[in-house]
Amino acid sequence: MDESAKQVFKMKFAKLTMVLNGIFLLAALAILAAFRVIPVYSYLIAGICGAGAIVLALYFRSAYRSDRKWLMAQGDEPGKPEQPGNAGEHKGDNDA
């Protein structure tokens, strides 16, 4: 992976990390509001935070899949030798 691809990977990873933290925060706020720890408009806040957590989770899943596909498409460094045993051979393929 070249240097520019590493920088892109770092940004994609940071984006996914922040979105995941947002999901946890919204889910925690929804739970707190549902148990009436937040005294004013507790059920409304719980509903909004719960819906926001679900929407962010759906976005996270699609972004994670696309970022993972991008990462798998990145080749290894040109000077790095290929690891043995990863050439598509399985243990049972040598049957003659």
CA 42/CA 17 separation, integer angstroms = 28
- What pLDDT score was predicted for residue 84? 55
Per-residue pLDDT band at 92 (split at 50, 70, 90): low
Does the structure show a pLDDT above 70 at 55? yes
Mean per-residue pLDDT over the chain, rounded: 85
Q: How many helical (H) and strand (E) elements, i.e. helices and strands, does the chain have?
A: 2, 0
Domain ranges of the chain: 15-74
Contact 34, 46 (CB under 8 A): yes
**Per-residue model confidence as pLDDT tens digits over 27-50:** 999 999 999 888 889 999 999 999
Does the structure show a pLDDT above 90 at 62? yes
Does the predicted TM-score (pTM) go above 0.85?
A: no
